Amino acid sequence: MSEPPRGFPEDEFAARTARAQTLMARDGLAGLFLTTEPELRYFTGFQTLFWQSPTRPWFLFVPAAGKPIAIIPEIGAALMRTTWVDDIRTWSAPAPADDGISLLTDLLTPYACEGSAIGVMKGHETTLRMPLGDYERLLSGLPGLRITDATDLIRSLRMVKSDREIAKIAHICAIGSATFAKVPGIAHEGLPLDALFRAVRREALAQGADDVPYLVGGAGPGGYHDVISPPSPRPLAKGDILMLDTGATWDGYFCDFDRNWAVGRADDTARRAYDVLWRATEAGIDAARPSTTCRDLFHAMQSVIAEMDSQSGDVGRLGHGLGMQLTEWPSHAAFDRTVLTENMVLTLEPSLGYGDGRIMVHEENIVVRAEGAQLLTTRAAPELPVI
Amino acid sequence: MSEPPRGFPEDEFAARTARAQTLMARDGLAGLFLTTEPELRYFTGFQTLFWQSPTRPWFLFVPAAGKPIAIIPEIGAALMRTTWVDDIRTWSAPAPADDGISLLTDLLTPYACEGSAIGVMKGHETTLRMPLGDYERLLSGLPGLRITDATDLIRSLRMVKSDREIAKIAHICAIGSATFAKVPGIAHEGLPLDALFRAVRREALAQGADDVPYLVGGAGPGGYHDVISPPSPRPLAKGDILMLDTGATWDGYFCDFDRNWAVGRADDTARRAYDVLWRATEAGIDAARPSTTCRDLFHAMQSVIAEMDSQSGDVGRLGHGLGMQLTEWPSHAAFDRTVLTENMVLTLEPSLGYGDGRIMVHEENIVVRAEGAQLLTTRAAPELPVI
C-alpha cells in the first residue's frame, strides 16, 4: 500500500489559519483561544500522544492576523519548534499555582483593555481542556474580555477536509479494510472474543496502522446486544453474530467502520437485518452529495431501516463526520440541518434493533465529491458472510 | 503470566462510595457531580473505549447517601446495567438542544432549592467533560446551587489504590517488563524507528496487554532530544541512544515506564547519564515510604541528578501517580507536599539534560508499602545495555 506523505507542508496551516481569520473578521472576533488536541493540531501540526496525560494544559491563540501563538509546557517546546509556529511561550509545567495563567493573562490583557471578543469552543461535541478553576480565575482577571462561542466557526472549517487530509483518511480506511479482510482467517469457533480483539489489533498494526485506539464489538447467539463494551473472554460459538468496529489511525487521522460476520451459520432474522442495513447504507451512499442535508441523509437511511425497526436501536444518529477524531460533527440525525459540501468525510452508520434486545450496526466511510459519495472503505459484502 | 480477575466485585464500589460519602459529610457536600471517565469508572466500573468519541457527555451524581446515579446516553444503558448502579437515567444522544440538561436539572433542582453545595472537579489535572456552554446553562437554571471544588476529595481517594487495583497494575507492569525484555531481539541497526514502534506495540499485545494507548520515545546519535514526539522513519544507527516509554493497559489500568538502550556502542557521556539516572531512581526507591512527601522524593532524586545536571531537562517533575490514567496526582516536584501513604502507586521518573540539548529519562513503577517501595516493574539494568 503506497503511503501518502506524513505531516503537511506549511501552506496547509497557513490556509487553515487564513480561513479562520476570514471567519473571525465576519464574526467580530479578535482571537481564538483554543485548548483541545484536534484544534491545536489543526492550526499547527503539533502531534503527540502526550495529550493522554491529563496533567498539563496546552493553549493556542489564533490572532486576527498572523501566525498562531503557542502557550505550552516546556516539555513540548522542542516538538512545537518543528512546526510553522514562531511565537512559542513556555513554562515549566506542571505548576498548579500558575499553569500558564500568567502567560495567558499577559497575552490577553490588551484584548481585555479594548473590550474585544475572543472565541472559545463551548458548544456541542467540545470540552474545555484546562482546569475549570483556572479558566474562571483567568477570566476574573480579565473583566473587559468578551467570550463568544466559536464552535460553529471551527466546526465549519474542520468539517471540510483538504485533499491531503482525505489522502490520509483514505489510507487508514484501506488499512482497516485490509485488516477486516483477514478476520475470516483469524476468527473461528472456540476463539475467545478478547483474544480475537488482540489478534485484530496486531493485524491492523501489521497492515500499517500507527495505532488502533478504538476497537469495540460484540458477539452473541443470533446477534449482539451492546456495541460499546470491552470484549468478554467468551469463546465464539456456532450461530453467533460477530461485529467488530475499529477506529485505527495513520498520521493522526482515523477510519471508523465495522463489519459483521456469522459464525458457522446465520439464522434468517440476522440475514434479514444485515440485508436491511446493507440497503440502508446503499441509500445513504446514493443520498450523500453536495446540497443534501444530514437530516435528508438520516431520513434516506431511516426509511429503509423502518422495514424492520423504527427505533434504529436508539444509538442517537446514523453516522457522523470523521477525521482527526473518531467522531466529529456533523451528525446524521433529524436535528442536524448541516448542508453537505464537497470534501466532507463522513461515516454512514445505520443500525437497528431486533429480536430480544439485539442490535446490528453497519458502517462505511465516504468522502462527498461533486458527483456524489466516494467510498473510502471496501464495501461490505451484500450478504452476511459466514465464517 | 497468571491474570488477576477482571472487573471488581460490588463491595469495591460500595467501599469507594462510602469513603467518598464520609469525606462529603466532612466537607458539607450534598453530592458530587462528575463528568470524567476515570471518575465514572471509579464509582461504577463502567468501562468502555467509547469515551474516545467526543460527541456524548456522560454524568454521574454521587449523593450523600446511597448508590451513585447515572445520567447517560441511551447507547450506554446496556453496559451501565451490568454495573452495581440501579438508578440509570438516559436520553437519546446526541441531542444538542438538550444533551442531558433536563435530566440533570430535574435531579439537581431539590439541591438548588435547599441551597446545597455540590462538588465539581475544577482543580489541577482535571477537566470538565461536557460542553462549557451546557454547564453554564445548567447552572444558570439552578441559581441556588453552590458549586465547590471537589478535586482534593477525589484526589485523596484515587491516589490510594486497593489491593485489587494494585494487582491489575502489577499485571500490566509485568507485561510491560516482558515486552521491553524482547526489544533487544527486535531492534537493530537499520530498523526505522516507526517500524520498531509498530513491532513493540504488537509484542505488548502478544504479551497480554489489552491495548498500548501510549508509546513514545526517541533515538539519536549519542542521545535523543525529545520525549513526546511520534516516531520518525529514520533507521536506527550505530551510536544511537534509543528510549521507549510505554503506557500499556490491562483491564483499564496503566503501566508507565521506559527503557534506554545503546545501538552498537555507547559513548562515555551517555553511559554516565544512564548511571546517574539509575542511581537517582535507586535514591527514589529508597526514599519512597509512608510519611515521606513527594517533595522529599523529588529532592532525593534531584540530589543525585545534580551530579550531572541541575535542570532535570525541565520536564517539570520526576514522577507521578499511576492507575486508571497514564499520569495521576501526585507529582514528585518541589511544589507537591503530598504525604506518601501505603498503597499509593507511583512512577519514579528522573531525567536530565546533557550535551547539546540531549535529554535522558528513566522510569520505574512502584507501590508504597509499610516497609518501603515495592517495585512493580523489573528493574532496569544498572549499566546502559548495548544492542
- Mean pLDDT of the region A135-151: 97
* Res A325 pLDDT > 70: yes
Domains and CATH numbers, chain A: 10-158 (3.40.350.10), 163-375 (3.90.230.10)
Q: According to the model, what pLDDT value does residue A187 have?
A: 97
pLDDT-derived band of residue A227, with 50, 70 and 90 as boundaries? Answer: confident
- Mean pLDDT of the region B15-44: 98
Interface check for A136 against chain B (CB to CB < 8 A): the answer is yes
Interface check for B158 against chain A (CB to CB < 8 A): the answer is no
- pLDDT tens digits for A77-108? 999 999 999 999 999 999 999 999 999 999 99
- Mean pLDDT of the region A319-348: 97
Q: Chain B contacts of A122, Cβ < 8 Å?
A: 131-133, 136
Q: Smallest Cβ distance to B52: which of A132, A315, A326?
A: A326
> How far B238 CA sits from the closest chain A CA (Å)?
24
C-alpha cell at B62: 454521587
> How far B274 CA sits from the closest chain A CA (Å)?
20
Please give the mean pLDDT across all residues of chain B.
96
* Res A196 pLDDT > 90: yes
Chain A with chain B: Cβ pairs closer than 8 A: 204
Q: According to the model, what pLDDT value does residue A312 have?
A: 55
Q: According to the model, what pLDDT value does residue A315 have?
A: 63
Q: Chain A contacts of B315, Cβ < 8 Å?
A: 74-75
Interface of B with A in 186-245 (CB under 8 A): 194, 197-198, 201-202, 205-206, 210-216, 225-230, 233
Residue of B37, B41, B128 for testing the chain A interface, max A β-carbons within 10 Å: B128
Q: Smallest Cβ distance to A48: which of B206, B213, B228?
A: B228
> How far B310 CA sits from the closest chain A CA (Å)?
14
Interface check for A103 against chain B (CB to CB < 8 A): the answer is no
Interface of B with A in 322-361 (CB under 8 A): 325-327, 331, 333, 335, 357
Q: Chain B contacts of A226, Cβ < 8 Å?
A: 78-79
Asked if B215's CB is within 8 angstroms of A213's CB, the reply is: no
Q: Chain A contacts of B332, Cβ < 8 Å?
A: none
* Res A158 pLDDT > 90: yes
Q: Which residue of A has its CA nearest to B56?
A: A125
Q: Smallest Cβ distance to B314: which of A92, A216, A317?
A: A92
- Mean pLDDT of the region A125-151: 98
- pLDDT tens digits for B213-259? 999 999 999 999 988 888 999 999 999 999 999 999 999 999 999 99
Residue of B130, B138, B147, B229 for testing the chain A interface, max A β-carbons within 10 Å: B229
Interface check for A127 against chain B (CB to CB < 8 A): the answer is yes
Asked if B48's CB is within 8 angstroms of A216's CB, the reply is: yes
* Res B161 pLDDT > 70: yes
Q: Chain B contacts of A47, Cβ < 8 Å?
A: 230
Asked if A229's CB is within 8 angstroms of B79's CB, the reply is: yes
Grid cell 473461528 is found at A188
* Res A1 pLDDT > 70: no
Tell me how crowded residue B114 is: count the other CB atoms within 10 A of its CB: 11
> How far A54 CA sits from the closest chain B CA (Å)?
5
Interface check for A367 against chain B (CB to CB < 8 A): the answer is no
Q: According to the model, what pLDDT value does residue B312 have?
A: 55
Q: Smallest Cβ distance to B73: which of A6, A202, A316?
A: A316
- pLDDT tens digits for A47-78? 999 999 999 999 999 999 999 999 999 999 99
- pLDDT tens digits for A254-304? 999 999 999 999 999 999 999 999 999 999 999 999 999 999 999 999 999
Give the residue among A45, A116, A34, A117 at the shortest CA–CA distance from A76: A45
Q: What percent of chain B has pLDDT over 90?
A: 95
pLDDT-derived band of residue B314, with 50, 70 and 90 as boundaries? Answer: low
Q: Smallest Cβ distance to B94: which of A6, A211, A317?
A: A317
Q: According to the model, what pLDDT value does residue B78 have?
A: 92
Selected residue with higher pLDDT from B162 and B356: B162
- Mean pLDDT of the region B338-363: 95
Interface check for B79 against chain A (CB to CB < 8 A): the answer is yes
Interface check for A50 against chain B (CB to CB < 8 A): the answer is yes
Q: According to the model, what pLDDT value does residue B153 have?
A: 98
Which residues have C-beta within 8 Å of that of residue B179, sequence separation ≥ 6?
A: B200, B203, B204, B207, B209, B246, B248
Asked if B206's CB is within 8 angstroms of A205's CB, the reply is: no
- Mean pLDDT of the region B253-281: 97
Q: What percent of chain B has pLDDT over 70?
A: 98
- pLDDT tens digits for B96-151? 999 999 999 999 999 999 999 999 999 999 999 999 999 999 999 999 999 999 99
- Mean pLDDT of the region A130-140: 98
Task: Round to whole Å and give the CA distance between B12 and B18.
Answer: 10
Q: According to the model, what pLDDT value does residue A2 have?
A: 80
* Res B305 pLDDT > 60: yes
Q: According to the model, what pLDDT value does residue B323 have?
A: 98
> How far B99 CA sits from the closest chain A CA (Å)?
9
* Res B269 pLDDT > 60: yes
Q: Chain B contacts of A48, Cβ < 8 Å?
A: 216, 228-230
Query: For every residue of chain A, which 3-state class applies, written as one string?
Result: CCCCCCCCCHHHHHHHHHHHHHHHHHHCCCEEEECCHHHHHHHHCCCCHHHHCCCCCCEEEEECCCCCEEEEEHHHHHHHCCCCCCEEEEECCCCCCCCCHHHHHHHHHHHHHHCCEEEECCCCCCCECCCHHHHHHHHHCCCCCEEEECHHHHHHHHCECCHHHHHHHHHHHHHHHHHHHHHHHHCCCCCEHHHHHHHHHHHHHHCCCCEEEEEEEEEEECCECCCCCCCCCCECCCCEEEEEEEEEEECCEECCEEEEEECCCCCHHHHHHHHHHHHHHHHHHHHCCCCCEHHHHHHHHHHHHCCCCCCHHHCCCCCEECCCCCCEEEECCCCCCCECCCCEEEEECCEEEECCCEEEECEEEEEEECCEEEECCCCCCCCCCEC
Q: Which residue of A has its CA nearest to B208?
A: A198
Q: Which residue of B has its CA nearest to A335?
A: B95
Task: Round to whole Å and give the CA distance between A204 and B363.
Answer: 29
pLDDT-derived band of residue A314, with 50, 70 and 90 as boundaries? Answer: low
* Res B322 pLDDT > 70: yes
Asked if A131's CB is within 8 angstroms of B122's CB, the reply is: yes
pLDDT-derived band of residue A223, with 50, 70 and 90 as boundaries? Answer: very high
Interface of B with A in 161-190 (CB under 8 A): none
Q: According to the model, what pLDDT value does residue A218 have?
A: 93
- Mean pLDDT of the region B305-332: 88
> How far B56 CA sits from the closest chain A CA (Å)?
7
Tell me how crowded residue B2 is: count the other CB atoms within 10 A of its CB: 5
Interface check for A132 against chain B (CB to CB < 8 A): the answer is yes
Q: According to the model, what pLDDT value does residue A311 have?
A: 67
> How far A215 CA sits from the closest chain B CA (Å)?
8
